[in-house]
Structure 1
Amino acid sequence: MAMKAWVRFPTAWIEDDGLKRFRWEPEKGANNVAALMTLMVIGHHADEAGVAALTYDGLSSATHLSRTKIAAGLDVLEEAELIRRNGLGRSRYEIVDYAGKPWGKLPAKGLYSTGGIAAFSDFHLRRRTELDALKLYFLTVSRRNNATNIANMKYETITEYSGIERTRIRSAASLLAALGLVHVERLPSDISSHGISNGYRLAHLEPYVHMGTKGRGMDDFDYADLE
């Protein structure tokens, strides 16, 4: 089956502070990065019931991770109750509460090149910024406004829902932008003392809906009050 431009992805766990459990800690940080990378790929391949059939070789090709790190990442996801494996048979993974609400659009097809997510080839599981970037990415999926195609989030909101320290948010956003995963846009705002705020737009998702096409028909309040 051909991969879609985007897939449905449940986000209730994100709104319930689920991203905060993915912390950068000794001997755990790398596994948490691997877990979120693997979760994204499982989401891309899930069927209408939220079940993905993926071999370790398939997961390795898509994530650029070793089998050892994939196994560690899957254990983290199962412990967090984000996926189920028991009773599904070999190489099958079920996303918990897949049909629940709320849900967001997770970019899919455009992320891949020669069978793998291109941006993930630059992840080496040795930098805390990689974990922060993935958490910001998933939060953007959850907080994206469907009408404007932008997630307009204050730093306080990002920290509250992801656990990313305020001083580390810029580095996370810069990494996402450098890897072509997110476009960071400067938006008019009445909540910022400088009259602007940051909006985060997912790459490869409705690329023709952006400030250039939507902004002209919206006033400052529309963009500043998306949260």
Structure 2
Amino acid sequence: MMHIRPWSRMPTQWIADGRIKLLTWKEDKAAGTAALVLFVALCHLAVERAALPRVQTRRVPGTVRSAPARVFSQYAAHLQTMPPRPPVPVQPEHGFVQAALDASGLAAIEERPEGAVDYIAHASYDQLGHLTGLSRKLIAAGLTLLVQQLMIERVGSARSGDYRIQDLEPGYRWAKLPGQALLSAGRTSFEPLTRFDLRSKYALAAMKLYCYYASARDSSTAYSHPSFETSFERTGVAERDIPRANSLLLSVGLLAMYHRPSFAEGDYEDGGDEEGMAILSANRYYMTGYKSFFAKGRGGRPAAAQGST
């Protein structure tokens, strides 16, 4: 049994810069779903540690790229490595954090400021399997994808089981992910994560939307409410697939509920008459465990806690 907090930090840079769009059913199949399932689990397992020197990074404007294969050669003994992908063009305003190589072709090492911290998750393959229900093969494939997209970085030896969550340094935005509310009765697994049919493309779509909904929530609000069009633009999930992916999130238990507000509730995205506003308003998405986002104020009333930075 592991200690899981009510909520944990998830970096959102990988969503903002378009890396989320690189995880596709056509390219990745079940490994893409496994990658995001593992990422959620690792975010919940991560704890603060004193920062160690790390591979230097830079931002590459206009193109999302896989990290150079030689930077990740150290993982070959641990993971079933996948071939690096060719550059994929994205919107000009998007950038991507990529390992910078020096003239010798080796990764440069960046010294960290005094007092800096890293968020490190420690978990063996067996522990990740129990928490997520994934096979060892899918765990290896999912971790490889996360490494290639610079969402995690292995710390220490190839078999240490330590993973740094990338982009949680000061100045980067982050979102809250509910944790304790997802645990099984015995607190041995994240039960909703174990319920996915990994043979379905909608499972990958659902995990992408789940992470995006977390990132799109205002820190003072219990729900997020992006439109289908915005969700497609941010995640690459086709609008026609969103209803089924939402239903899947609800059925496995990652979403507590979602609904379209009535006219009386207000908060519509478009103007017009009552009937028009009811049709054009966006769904409100409440993550299972959303009440954990807020601290109890005086009198037992919920007081807004900081949701993201």
* Structure 2: distance between partners of 1:206 and 1:82: 27
Contact kept, 8 Å, 1:8 with 1:104, in 2: the verdict is yes
The separation in 2 between residues aligned to 1:88 and 1:149, in whole angstroms, is: 40
The letter for the 2-side match of 1:119 is P
Residue aligning to 1:47: 47
Structure 2 partner of 1:94: 164
From the CA coordinates, give the structure whose radius of gyration is larger: 2
Q: Which residue of 2 aligns with 1:221?
A: none
CA contact (8 A) 2:129 2:136 kept: yes
Looking at structure 1, the residues matched to 269 and 163 of structure 2 have their Cα atoms a distance apart, in angstroms, of 44
Aligned 1:36-185 pairs, distance under 5 A: 36-48=36-48, 49-87=118-156, 90-100=160-170, 101-113=172-184, 114=186, 115-182=188-255, 183-185=257-259
1:135-179 CA distances to partner (integer Å, 9 max, x unpaired)? 000001100112121111011110000000010011111111122
Report the CA distance between 1:7 and its aligned residue. 0.7
Tell me by how many angstroms 1:88 deviates.
5.5
Query: Which blocks of at least 5 consecutive residues in structure 2 are unaligned?
Result: 49-117, 295-309
RMSD: 1.8
TM-score, reference length from structure 1: 0.86
In structure 2, the CA distance between the partners of 1:190 and 1:139, relative to structure 1 (3 Å rule), is closer
Aligned equivalent of 1:198: 283
Matching residue of 2:10: 9
Question: C-alpha separation between the residues in 1 aligned to 2:234 and 2:168?
Answer: 20
Residue 24 of structure 1 deviates from its aligned partner by 0.5
CA contact (8 A) 1:15 1:142 kept: no
Identity %, equivalent residues: 33
Give aligned pairs, total.
Answer: 208
The runs of at least 4 aligned residues of structure 1 exceeding 6 Å deviation read none
CA distance in 1, matches of 2:253, 2:137: 27
Cα deviation for residue 42 of structure 1 reads 0.5
Is 1:6–1:107's contact at 8 Å kept on the other side of the alignment?
yes
2:205, 2:242 within 8 Å by CA — same for their partners in 1? yes
Question: Do 2:7 and 2:292's aligned partners in 1 also have CA atoms closer than 8 Å?
Answer: no
Partner residue in 2 for 1:219:
none
Structure 1 unaligned residues grouped into runs of 5+: 210-227
Distance 1:178 1:96, change over 3 A: same
